Structure formats: C-alpha cells, structure tokens
Chain A
Amino acid sequence: MKKFWKFVTLVILLTSLTDWGLGTLFDHWYPKIKTGQTGGKINYYLNKTLVPSLVIVGNSRALYQVIPDSLHAQSFNLSHAGMSQVFQTGLLSILKDAHKMPSVILLHLEPEEFTFDDNGNDIQNLKYYYGKNKLVTQYISEISIFESSKYVFHLYRYNGRVFTFLKNLVQSTYLFKEYNGYEVIPATIKDSINTIYSANNVGDIKNENLNERQISYLLEFIRLCSESKTKVICFTSPLYRQPKRINLITSKLNSILKSKGVHYIDFIQNPIEGLQRNPSLWKDAYHLNHNGARIESSILGLQIKELL
C-alpha cells in the first residue's frame, strides 16, 4: 500500500503543480489579448476608456450585418458568431460587473433558438469567467451536475482554446477597429449562387413552442438591463427565405417583450423591401454580405432613432 500512496501523492502533486504553473501563466497573458472570438473582443471592449452609448449583441447575423456607425455616433458591435441567448446574458453580466454598461443595448434575437431544448452549452465560451462572475458560474453549473467539478483544474478555463489564445496573443492588435466591432463579409460574384443553393436547404420550423429555459435567459437579460438603467431594444435580422411558421415564434417573442416594455423590431414579420428579391445582397440564405448589411443597418438606424 505504501507504493500506492506514493503513486497517488506524486500524481496529485505533479498535476497540481502543472495546473498552477500553466494556469498562472495563462491568467497573466489572457487579459492582453485584444482580438478574436475567444475572449479578445470582450477584453478590447472592457479596456475601452470611453464606454459606447450603444452596444449591439447577438450572433453572426448581428456581427456581420449591423454596422455600428450607421446606428449612432458612439456604438460598438459586441456580437459573437454562433452564440445563443445564454451567452449574451452571461456577457451582459460581465459588462455590468466591470461597470461598462452602455445607455442602450441592441439585442439580436434568433427566433428558432428560443424553441431549442439545449442545456445552455454556449455559456462555455465564457468559461474564463467561471468563479469570477456569479451569473456565468451559475449558468455553467446548470449545464450538468458534473460541470463544476471540471473547474477543479484551473486550466480548464482555457480548454479547447489554447492555440487560438496563443495565436491571438502573438498578433494581439484589434483587427476590426475601423468598423467598431462589425465584421465585414465582402460581396463576391459567387454570392447569388451560394444564396440560392443554401436557400434550397432551409428546412421548416419543427416546433414553434418557446422553451422555458431559453426565455429565462432573455428575461434575465432584460432584468440586468433594467437594474443598470440601460434601455434594451430587441431585433431580428431578415432571412432570404423564411422557414414556414417562423412568424409564430416571433409573435410569441413579441408578446413577451411587450409585457416587459421592450420594443421589438422584427424584420421577419416586417421584411425589408428589396432584400429578399436580391440574392446578390446575401452571402447565403441566412447572412447578408456587406452590401446587404449596409441596407439593413441604415433601416435599423432609422427605426432606432425614433425610439431613442
């Protein structure tokens, strides 16, 4: 048994030492990253001395389609591709903790996501803030009963992102300064073909019932905004081809938002003239290219102006 305890002690000691050593090094480097989707963009925003008046948050359909300069003089697009509402709520909580809440937040809602019965896995993209931010920690712990135990290892906060993190550290200059967080999808001659091709693969909505958990993330988002006296406006970007019954979901979302006194700009129910008839303004059936983004942003800008 002596050999057994010697083995166990040595393994624990070596693992803890590596975890502590590498963890400390990564913790030192992480705040220096100012670019990329794995935390750099958030760092860049948190380090801004002047907090923008208007911040856009959402997924790729906000990131590639909403040009901040078309909306307001001091605005910033803090959207992250592929991220659902749980991430946006966690992100807002981080901004609140850092006292970097803007006066207005423009939140992009992806209707279909509110019907998914997932376990809020997207919050894992904020795992660096586990133990640092209360709401992020809570959401991560809710993923599964074992999730918190993974954070016994300090290094787990960097799980799956070491190489991206190191790459962004080496080239840590903010790449999209010119556009204040907006990322450009340049228009190409292949766009029309890609859009028509991908539109054929757009499936119907399988379920239009809203998921309670997803809605709770949205309500928490609104609550955090109201606590900080930040005005929140929600919007949904247009689609080249709308799946059948998607309007049923946006109607339900609209009634929830109405009951909370939040204005909802719904380009699904009220499509932007001309966009859906012109595939050359799209990258695929879901994303506008830069030319299309300019149209959406200018119309969004006009509608927001009336609300501010």
Chain B
Amino acid sequence: MLFNSFQFLIFFPIVVLIYFLLPHKYRWFELLVASCLFYCAFIPGYLLILIVTIFIDYFAGILIEESTDKRRKLFLTVSIISNLLLLGFFKYYNFFIDNLNFISQSLFNHQLQHLNIILPIGLSFHTFQAMSYVIEVYRGKQKAERNFGIYSLYILFFPQLVAGPIERPQNMLHQFYEKKSFDTHRLITGLQQIGWGLFKKVVVADQLNIYINSIYDRWEVNSGVTLIFATYCFAFQIYCDFSGYSDIAQGSAHILGFKLMDNFHLPYFSKSITEFWRRWHISLSTWLKDYLYISLGGNRSGKWNTYRNLLITMLLGGLWHGASWNFVIWGLLNGIYLSIEKMTGIKNHSQRYGKLLNVFFTFNLISLTWIFFRASSFHQAWGILKNILDVNDFWVLRIQDTGIFAGMIFGLVVLLLVEYLLLRKEGAQQYFSERPILQSCFWIAGLITLIVLFGVSEGDQFIYFQF
C-alpha cells in the first residue's frame, strides 16, 4: 500500500481509530495485523519471507542472550548469514549470474539461467533492522525480546516497514509497551508532517520525475546544460521522494504516539560531504557507521586503514541500494570524497569563499554521483557524462512541456523557501508542534490546495521501495 494512495487514506484513520478504542493490552496485536495487511497490499506471498527472518532473528536473539562465549558468536553468525543469504538470493542472485555469465561467455561460451523473481519490497530495510536487533543483543545493549508478537511488530511496524527509517531496537521496542492516549496536539503535528511529506512526493518529486524521464530516456540527443539541469532535478527528486516518505512515516507514527528517528536534515545545505552524510539517510549512514565502519576498525588503526574502511563502507552502502555496478560506483565515489576530506582535514570545502560556495560545491559533487544512481546502466551514465562535456549545443536547455516545467520550478521554490526559512533550525516535527492551531489549519488547508492543483495523481511508487 502506497502512502500516496486512497487505500492509505482509508486504511490509516481506521487503524488510528481502532488503536485508541482498544484497551492497551490488545493494541500491539491490532498494529501487527494492520502492518501485515499493509504489506500484503503489495505482494501477499512475500510476507512469508518476512516471517522466516522474524523467526530466525527472534530465536537467535534469545539464544544469544542465554548463551556464553563461543556459542553467542555462533548464533550471531548464523542469524547474520541467514539474513544476508536471503537478501543475497533475492537481491543479488541475478546480478551475480550476470557477472558470472560475462566471464563464462568469453571463456566457455556458456550462459547460466537467471531466476524469474521479484525483489520483496523493502527487503534491504527490514533485513538491516533485524540485523541491528541481533547485533545489539550480542553487544549486550539490548535485552532479547521474549514476546514474539512485539518482536514481529518491531520488524513489521507499517509506517517504517518498506522504506525505513531503519530503526534500532533500543528506540522502538520499549515504545510498543508504553501506554499511549489520543492527543489532539500530536494529531495536528502528525498531520502537518504527513501533508508536507505528501507535498514533497506528489508535487515536487513526481513532477520532477516526468521532466527527468523525458531527458534521461533520450540522453543521446541531450547535452550540456540540459543534462546538468536534469541531474540537479534528480538530486531534488530523490530527496523529496525519500524524505517525503520519511515525513509521512514519522507523521503517521507520531499520531499513534511513536517516535521514529529523523532520517534527513536538509542535506543539500551541507558544506562538506562528511556533513552531507550526517544529514542524508541518517538511519542508514549511522547503521553503516555503527555496524560496519566501526567493526572494520573505524579510524583506530592508522590513517590508511581509515581510508580503506571508509571506501569499503561506502562501497557496500552503494551495493545495499541495488544490484548494479552503477550503485557500486556511486558508493565508491562517495567513499573517495569522504577519504579525501579526511585526508586533507577539510570540514568546509573552503573557508575563504563563504558558506554559500561550500554548499554549492558540495551539492555539485553529490549531483555528480547521482548520475550513476539515476542512469540505468554504466554505459548510459558514461554517455551522459560525455554528453555533458560536449561543447556543441552546450547552452541549450530543453524545457519540454512548459506546464510541467513551470509546475516543477514552482514546487522547488516552495520547497526551498519552506525548508530554508521555516524548517532549517528546528526540524519538521519540532517546528510543526510549536504552531498555534489556526496557523496549523492554514498550513494544512494550503498544502491540500497545492496537492489538489499540482499533485501528480498517477505518480510512481517511492524510489526507495525498490531497495
């Protein structure tokens, strides 16, 4: 079920209503059933895969807690390997076969068959969330959850089930036990955040998507400024698509009385790549830092090992996004940026030229990586890079449909004004929670009107669902 669908518009109020009407002891069960229904709305069969991982990690958590020494490590390894095997099978099997075929074709003239499977929605997210649980239990920072239903809900909780934020057990599990009562102020704050998330998705991201598709799908005949502008647009599309999803997730959870972690904090206002990764997809970057970078040794074993660890972390972070060499290159580029910043001690790219230039420089470096993220193949990404540098027709900017172009520029202007002027200092939830009721009403009515007038009603699903 998509957040930007009518189904969700009906589903969510019913869930909220039943949740607050039920006695506290039954509420977790209602949320669990609702979450299963939410997930089944995509492909019901894939719920079984989730249940398998839930079983493995639930028992692994208990066994790790009850065991000592080597057996603890054994159960942790079994749990992590089974999670990664499942992820590897569904997400990377065909990619692996592609690469194997590339080699075997040239050596033995033999091709292996692909598997005709669809990636379960949000598999990478809930696999990482499950792994976070067993690792935290192993590290002794989290007690193993004995209630199977509550543990299942930790993985299946519908607001963050398919595209995060990738939560930590310390933040979520205790919340399922806390008694929550209906709070109008929380409802108003949550609705404002949901409205803002929807605006970012259906007005900004989906309009940008139409323009970007028209340029990237015909990249061979486009060049220079057109491709640069389309890439800038993609930077905002992916931001609005994903942070819009996170806003809706946070807002929905907030109405139910749950606090999800912040996933974005105005990343394009960053003055360096290091700062960008502290503001972009925070739940993934902290996951990678805590469980991968630090496990590899972090910055504790010399500077060259630090650079190596950064490269490995970002490379695997890239691969997490998708089974394609483009994502590997995307991750590698980010790893190289971070290593260079570490090497040179850069916190801001240039103190001399002021904040604005730093922001601009960082934005361009990140936009360069988005070419690999958006392109459908390495060949396309490379072709786009070459065409950008083509001096013929460099200054030609293709507008395509004037109505869509004007609509997306309008959406971007509203986005930047609101984020810079209103949300920069406090963050969305904090800002919305402090508004007087009349102002909140104007805000929601304004957003509804903008969504009705400019929203793309047949928009695509959220980009990050495919991960």
Contact = CB atoms under 8 A, between A and B. Distances in A.
A160 B456 contact: yes
A11 interface: yes
B448 A159 contact: no
A15 B445 contact: yes
Interface in B428-467: 437-438, 440-442, 444-446, 448-449, 452-458
A162 B448 contact: no
B406 interface: yes
A199 to B, nearest CB: 14
A167 B402 contact: yes
B402 A18 contact: no
B188 interface: yes
Interface stretch (A146-154, A211-219, A243-251): A146-154
A163 B406 contact: yes
A280 to B, nearest CB: 19
A24 to B, nearest CB: 14
Contact of A22 (B185, B438, B449): B449
Interface string A265-279: 000000000000000
Nearest to B445: A14
Nearest to B7: A146
Q: For chain A, which range describes its interface: under 10, 10 to 19, 20 to 34, or 35 or more residues? A: 20 to 34
Given A10-B441, A11-B445, A156 B402 contact: no
Interface string A1-35: 10110110011001100110010000000000000
Given A159-B452, A161-B403, A146 B437 contact: no
Interface string A60-96: 0000000000000000000000000000000000000
B443 to A, nearest CB: 10
A121 interface: yes
A38 B445 CA distance: 26
B442 A14 contact: yes
A7 B187 CA distance: 10
Q: For chain B, which range describes its interface: under 10, 10 to 19, 20 to 34, or 35 or more residues? A: 20 to 34
A300 interface: no
Given A15-B448, A19-B449, A121 B442 contact: no
Contacts of B407: 160, 162-163
A197 to B, nearest CB: 8
Contacts of B455: 159-160
Find the residue from B402, B442, B453 having the highest chain A CB count within 10 A.
B453
A170 B90 CA distance: 54
A116 interface: no
Nearest to A161: B403
B250 to A, nearest CB: 20
Chain A at the B interface: mostly helix, strand, loop or mixed? helix
Chain B at the A interface: mostly helix, strand, loop or mixed? helix
Contacts of A3: 184-185, 437
B437 A10 contact: yes
B108 interface: no
A158 B188 CA distance: 28
A18 B441 CA distance: 13
B467 to A, nearest CB: 27
Contact of B402 (A22, A144, A153, A163): A163
A18 B6 contact: no
Contacts of A18: 445-446, 449
Contacts of B42: none
A155 B437 contact: no
B55 interface: no
A164 interface: yes
Contact of B403 (A19, A146, A153, A164): A164
A7 B186 CA distance: 12
B89 interface: no
B437 to A, nearest CB: 6
B206 to A, nearest CB: 10
A121 B458 contact: yes
A10 B441 CA distance: 6
B410 interface: yes
B290 to A, nearest CB: 40
Contacts of B444: 11, 15
Contacts of A156: 452
B406 A7 contact: no
Contact of B453 (A1, A159, A164): A159
Contacts of B456: 160
Nearest to A10: B441
A85 B404 CA distance: 24
Interface in A106-164: 121, 124, 144, 146, 149-150, 153, 155-156, 158-164
A83 to B, nearest CB: 14
Interface in A253-294: none
B458 A7 contact: no
B457 A159 contact: yes
A11 B184 contact: no
Nearest to B185: A3
A125 to B, nearest CB: 12
Nearest to B444: A11
Contacts of A162: 403, 407, 453-454
Contacts of A161: 403
A155 B453 contact: yes
Nearest to A4: B184
A15 to B, nearest CB: 4
B433 to A, nearest CB: 14
Nearest to A156: B452
B402 A14 contact: no
A116 to B, nearest CB: 15
A38 B444 CA distance: 29
A161 B407 CA distance: 8
B405 to A, nearest CB: 8
B297 to A, nearest CB: 50
B6 A146 contact: yes
A104 to B, nearest CB: 32
B438 A164 contact: no
Contacts of B446: 18
Nearest to B207: A160
5 contacts: A7-B441, A146-B6, A156-B452, A160-B404, A162-B453
Interface of A: 1, 3-4, 6-7, 10-11, 14-15, 18-19, 22, 38, 121, 124, 144, 146, 149-150, 153, 155-156, 158-165, 167
Closest 6 CB pairs of A and B: A164-B403, A14-B445, A163-B406, A146-B6, A10-B441, A4-B184
Given A155-B452, A164-B406, 19 more contacts: A4-B184, A7-B188, A7-B437, A7-B441, A10-B437, A10-B438, A11-B445, A18-B449, A124-B458, A144-B6, A150-B452, A159-B452, A159-B453, A159-B454, A162-B453, A163-B410, A164-B403, A167-B402, A167-B406
